[in-house]
Structure 1
Amino acid sequence: MAEDHEDARGDMARGFWVFGYGSLIWNPGFEPVERVPATLSGFARSFCMWSIHHRGTPDLPGLVLALDAAEGGRCRGIAFRVGPERAAATLAELRERELVSSAYLERRVPLALDDGRVVPALAYVVDPAHVQYTGPLSLERQAEVIAAATGGRGPNADYLFNTASHLAEIGMEDAELTELAARVRTRLGL
């Protein structure tokens, strides 16, 4: 991870790219100078991380999306370019948000932008050795957890609903998230 942090610091004079695949898509928390649809290869987006801070508690954990390494995996999302004037502050804010429990690892990845460019970008990927890593869970188990949990940033269901709807709005509908959202709505009587 030190190498990744060093690379990110080296970009401060130029700014940097970060990959959004979950809540960063609809709530980046910063104003990017560029926003481009993108694809990350070698990873899959999945609800494979227990949330004990933002969307759950230690007593009743929720689930959040993570990039899980997957041979042949492909994840669609948004690449955000942070300008040099806000690079250091934005990186600090991202680290505070994403590295709250060390379940995510900050990695430097090659990101294929839809406009044909390939850029080095930061991505927050799950640490499969971390206690918050769930491994694969059935959709029914995910729905059960998400319907019941609430954390510091609100109900776990809102996180799922916002992510699924924003992906659909930008033409990147994720069929599994859409199905999961329907199951959670049924559980919640919505």
Structure 2
Amino acid sequence: MAIWVFGYGSLVWRPGFASSARVPGHIRGYRRVFYQGNTDHRGTPEKPGRTVTLVEEKDAVTYGVAYRLAGDEHEQNGTLQYLLHREKEYDQQVDIDFHTDPSDSHPPVIRVLVFIASDNPVSNPYYLGPAPLEAMAWQIATASGPSGPNSEYLLNLQRALSDLGACDPHVDALAALVSTMLLHVTTAVANAASTTTAIAAAACTAASTTGNGANSSSTTCPKVHEHAHSWQRECTGTAGCEACTCTKAQGQAALGLIVDAAVARMAGCEVLAAHISQNSQPLSSP
């Protein structure tokens, strides 16, 4: 007997098993939502990601792909065991009518097996449920797990649905927000690096000019760029100026970790402390 499985999440673009047929189509009466928490693929227990599940909704349509499992009964059972392990956080397996034609006049083509993560806290403790769209987008943009960034899961799903000629407003809205957030983060990191380089140069120049550094005859620290891009580590070089301590503090400020002049002074950077005092804010990216 043929066994069909319906994919509406990662199974759409990465099934991971042998199939003898792949048929685009849809199921009815269910809506795809990013309500399921994920701690082992696209997130961690400390910072869960979000993946899709289905919620019942009259007149809703969810597009995806139906796969007919390849092989004999033994091989198909092996594939089912693989799917049960892969979808282990999805506590419901249901048989649903699968359609290939959007018209109501056409009967369903086949019955498909669908994995659903329910909102039952006993059988599915990872369920996150609804949240403001912006909050879900931020969670997806910042979560990552062994299988990669949570954002990759979302954007791959959107791309795969687009390849099918399908549109999902929930997926599209989240993808637009996450893409914007990722762009802002990338820009912020680039600006932070640029800011850190510039203020490190100022710190080195100030140190050499005032004679505070062992290499005070130099007007610019020869290792300024190394300092600027490695502020997370203690300086092990022999540049002979105060840039290593100062750059570390300024790098932390650029990422929003230092916002107080007193803290900047304790961190060893008078340049940063003076800037915060004069501007009421640290040197940071927009």
TM-score under structure 2 length normalisation: 0.58
- Residues 168 and 174, structure 1, Cα contact 8 Å, conserved in 2: no
> Which residue pairs with 2:119 in the alignment?
128
Between structures 1 and 2, the one with greater strand share: 1
Greater radius of gyration (CA): 2
Per-residue CA distance 1:66-116 (angstroms, 9 max, x = gap): 1122233221111111134231111111111001x3x43111222223496
- State the secondary structure of the residue aligned to 1:33: strand
Q: Percent identity?
A: 35
Q: CA deviation at 1:44?
A: 0.6
- Residue 152 of structure 1, aligned match among 131, 137, 146: 146
Quick check: 1:44–1:68 contact (8 Å CA) kept in 2?
Answer: yes
- The 1-side partners of 2:91 and 2:52 are apart by 11
- Partner Cα distance (1:72, 1:131) in 2: 28
> Which structure is higher in helix share?
2
Please state how far the C-alpha of 1:52 moved relative to its aligned partner: 1.1
* Aligned-partner SS, 1:161: helix
Q: Which residue of 2 aligns with 1:79?
A: 66
2:83 is aligned with what amino acid? L
Q: C-alpha root-mean-square deviation of aligned residues, in Å?
A: 1.7
Q: For the Cα contact (< 8 Å) 2:18–2:70, is it kept in 1?
A: no
Q: CA deviation at 1:117?
A: 4.6
Native 8 Å contact 2:33 2:55 kept in 1: yes
Match of residue 40 from structure 2:
53
Distance 1:151 1:113 in 2: 34
SS at match of 2:180: helix
- 2:25 is aligned with 1:35: no
Instruction: Look up the equivalent residue of 2:22 and give its one-letter code.
Output: R
Per the alignment, in what secondary structure is the counterpart of residue 99 of structure 2? strand
Partner of 2:84: 95
Shift of 1:119: 1.3
Is 1:65–2:52 an aligned residue pair?
yes
Tell me if structure 2 keeps the 8 A contact 1:79–1:113.
Answer: no
Structure 2: gaps (5+ residues)? 187-286
Say whether residues 1:180 and 2:171 are aligned partners.
no
1: CA distance between counterparts of 2:150 and 2:8?
Answer: 16
Instruction: Tell me which residue corresponds to 2:160.
Output: 166
Moved more, 51-60 or 69-78: 69-78
